[in-house]
Structure 1
Amino acid sequence: MRRPSPLPPSPGSPSGAPQDVDAPAARARPAREPEAEVVPFPLPSPGEGGEPSPGARDTGLRDVWRASRARRRALRAEVRRFTVRQRRRRRVWIGVGIAFIVMVLGTAGAAYSPLFAVERIDVVGTSQLDAAAVADALSGQVGTPLALVDDSAVKATLVRFPLVESYTLEARPPHDLVVRIVERTPVGVIETPAGYTLLDAAGVVLSTTPTAPAGQAVIEVAGGTDAEPFRAAGRVMRALPDGIRSQVTGVSASTPDDVTLTLGATDTRVVWGSADRSAEKARVLDLLMQKSPPDRTREYDVTSPEAGVVR
């Protein structure tokens, strides 16, 4: 008896027909699909879309180079467009810098040139000195550019004038040189074998005359001009107002703490004491002299500024 085959019937065989499982047809492979037809692709001939000809190759390189150059130009144009403000600011700053440099160089060149040479010397601040004599002594600076005036030469010239305590130079373009002088303040004269020597508070000799100069007090101190009593007397005289100093005819001191002044022809004494607080003592003395003039007073005592005494 034949067993039915578990496989479906092959095409072309009658449905339900018994098949032998041991037959070679039972091992038949599945049918293959039909293959597509191969159509050959025709190769283009040179010059017809195939291998480019030498002329076509040259044309392509030129086009690439032109495109690259155009791209670079476009990029540069874009950079210039976006940096126009920055470049404008840079040009402005460069112009300012150049103008500043030109101005500095022009100013320096003019200042050191004969265009700004000294033609006139003005001496101001003198009361005892002869301003014309000082200007004549400084005439060697005439013709020198203002910026090149030799300060050391000016100093060496003014040292010859003992009354000059300090000075400053002021250039007034285009041709003026102003010399501002601070004179020494005479505090009195000391009698010496050579005559009467006029001194300032530092003991600097200002002049020597055979007779006592008018309006100057005669100083009598112990130890000479290098001692402390003279320094104390000098500080007291410098602290006095001009109106009182002109009335002082004598100054005496044996120690730095017992300075005494003599006023005018009345020989009124002013007991000053030390040179400390001289400015306050000068104000107190001025008030006392207003209340009690020297012709009606024998002595003023301002040793203690808080309690001035009239005798």
Structure 2
Amino acid sequence: MKRPTPIPPRQTPPAPDEDDFAGDEPDEAPARGRLGSILPFGRSKHADVEDEADGAETTESKDPDAEKVGLRRLGWRRKRAERAEVRRFTARSRRRRIIWLSSVGAVVLLAIGTIGAAYSPLFAVEKIEVVGASALDVAAVEASLEGQKGRPLPLIDRDEIRAALTSFPLVETFSIEPHPPHELIVRVEERTPVAVMATDAGFTTVDAAGVALDTAEAQPEGVPIAEVEDGPHSDVFAEVGQVLRALPEDLAKRISVIRATSPEDVTFDLPDGGGVTVVWGSAGDTAEKIQILTAAFSAAPPDTVSTYDVSSAGVLVVK
């Protein structure tokens, strides 16, 4: 068998001479520059120093006023952003406040407009009507209230109206009813004559309070003559007036004379059966006394008796 041929020894190439690289040194800088532009870690310290110098020159070349303007603009933008956020978070409360203020404003404007219109000539009195008068002269009463015409309804003077109506003795009470826009209604309640008092001037008709209503030469029909020594303004006549106001109308009209010397001994005469006297007493227990007297008229007719005494409550005395 044939042996293999031995491997020849490795030959070391000769070392290059320094002269061979003498002409290549000027190309080293451009090569490094190209590597530095491609690889960031390939930049030389010299290039970094040059860049720092260029940056410093650029910073120094900036305008200080421009920097202030820029900062101011940034501040404005930040404030605008903050205001926008505040408006976004307070939108609901602002809407509620706007609605509330609008409602209050509308109510205030409505009230001012209403008050202004009410006190303006738009609601001035042009017509006065008197209601509830039967014995009174309505035309005379309306003429006495002419001073209220031309005034706004809220400025009607009640004191002037009261003073004008005082001249009419038949007026007991009154009320005022404004009817916008131009009408005023004066509702009066007349005094009710209950008795007649004989005087030197004739027969004076008075009401239950003793107020003189009219004076005539003849006695009015359906009104009894009151015989009270102390006059119509006394406590005795006040008791008589209460009795006459409490009696049923048909019975009160039948009375010819009513008399009293004290508040507890009121008596009156009826023409029934040729004349009969009723001892009434005071004005108390009127309803019970009326029932007893009505029953007495049935049990003992007036033509068979002369006196009915109902002055004691629950007791009837017939004479």
Q: TM-score range by the shorter chain?
A: 0.7 to 0.9
Deviation at residue 173 of structure 1 after TM alignment: 0.6
Which residue of the partner structure matches residue 88 of structure 1?
95
Q: Sort the Cα spacing of 1:47 and 1:134 in 2 relative to 1 into closer, same or farther, 3 A.
A: farther
AA paired with 2:231? G
Q: CA deviation at 1:46?
A: 5.9
Identify the residue that residue 228 of structure 2 maps to in structure 1.
221
2:289 to 268, 281, 305: 281
Task: Say whether 1:172 aligns with 2:179.
Answer: yes
Match of 1:205 in 2: 212
Counterpart residue number, 2:166: 159
Cα distance change, pair 296–163 in 1 and its aligned pair in 2 (3 A): farther
The CA distance in 2 between the partners of 1:292 and 1:62, in whole Å, is 124
Hey, what's the Cα distance between the residues in 2 that align with 1:178 and 1:293?
Answer: 50
The 2-side partners of 1:118 and 1:293 are apart by 60
Contact 1:116 1:145 in 2 (8 A): yes
TM-fit CA distance, 1:307? 3.7
The change in CA–CA distance for 1:45 and 1:232 in structure 2 (over 3 A counts) is same
Q: Residues of 1 paired with 2:133 and 2:271: CA distance?
A: 27
Question: Is the 2:239–2:283 contact (alpha carbons within 8 Å) kept by the matching residues of 1?
Answer: yes
CA distance in 2, matches of 1:274, 1:286: 18
Structure 1 window deviating more from structure 2 (279-288 vs 196-205): it is 279-288
| Aligned with 2:311 (options 303, 306, 310) | 303
CA contact (8 A) 1:46 1:52 kept: no
| 3-state SS in 2 of match to 1:95 | helix
3-state DSSP class of the match of 1:178?
Answer: strand
The two structures have a TM-score, normalised by structure 1, of 0.76
Contact 2:279 2:308 in 1 (8 A): yes
SS of the equivalent of 2:279 reads strand
Do 1:260 and 1:269's aligned partners in 2 also have CA atoms closer than 8 Å?
yes
- Partners of 2:292 and 2:127 lie apart in 1 by 47
Question: In the superposition, relative to structure 1, how do residues 85 and 265 fare at CA in structure 2: closer, same or farther (>3 Å)?
Answer: same
Q: How does 1:112-131 map to 2 (within 5 A)?
A: 112-131=119-138
Residue in 2 aligned with 1:69? 76
**How much has 1:78 moved relative to structure 2?**
1.5
Tell me if 1:136 matches 2:169: no
Instruction: Return the offset for 1:116.
Output: 1.4
Give the match for residue 240 of structure 2: 233
Report SS of the residue matched to 1:275: coil
Q: What CA distance in whole angstroms lies between the structure 1 residues aligned with 2:317 and 2:131?
A: 42
CA distance in structure 2 between the aligned counterparts of 1:75 and 1:246, rounded to whole angstroms: 95
Distance 1:288 1:115, change over 3 A: farther
Shift of 1:306: 3.0
Over the aligned positions, Cα root-mean-square deviation in angstroms equals: 2.9
Q: Structure 1 or 2: larger helix share?
A: 2
CA contact (8 A) 1:116 1:175 kept: yes
Q: Name 2:6's counterpart in structure 1.
A: none
Q: Find the residue that maps to 1:128 and give its secondary structure.
A: coil
For residue 100 of structure 2, give the secondary structure of its aligned residue in structure 1. helix
1:182 counterpart = 2:192: no
User: Residue in 2 aligned with 1:18?
Assistant: none
Q: Distance in 1 between matches of 2:112 and 2:308?
A: 67
Q: Which residue of 1 aligns with 2:280?
A: 272
Could you list the per-position Cα deviations for residues 188-227 of structure 1 after superposition, in whole angstroms to 9, with x for gaps in the alignment? Answer: 0110011011112222111111111111110012322233
* Gap change, CA 1:65 and 1:191, over 3 Å in 2: same
Q: Distance in 2 between matches of 1:295 and 1:285?
A: 15
TM-score after normalising by structure 2: 0.75
Amino acid of the structure 1 residue aligned with 2:184: L
How many residue pairs get aligned? The number is: 273
Aligned residues of 1:111 and 1:146 also touching (Cα < 8 A): yes
User: What SS does the aligned partner of 2:151 have?
Assistant: coil
Query: Does the Cα contact within 8 Å between 2:224 and 2:257 map onto a contact in 1?
Result: yes
* SS in structure 2 of the partner of residue 110 of structure 1: helix
Residues 112 and 212 of structure 1: is their aligned pair in 2 closer, same or farther, counting only changes over 3 Å? same
Paired residues of 1:301 and 1:308 also in contact (CA < 8 A) = yes
Separation (CA, whole Å) in 1 of partners of 2:300 and 2:182:
55
Deviation of 1:238 after TM superposition, in Å, equals 1.6
Percent of aligned pairs sharing the same letter: 44
Corresponding residue of 2:28: none
Q: 1:46 to 1:190 in 2, by over 3 A?
A: farther
Question: Structure 1: any 5+ residue segments left out of the alignment?
Answer: 1-38
What's the counterpart of residue 10 of structure 1? none
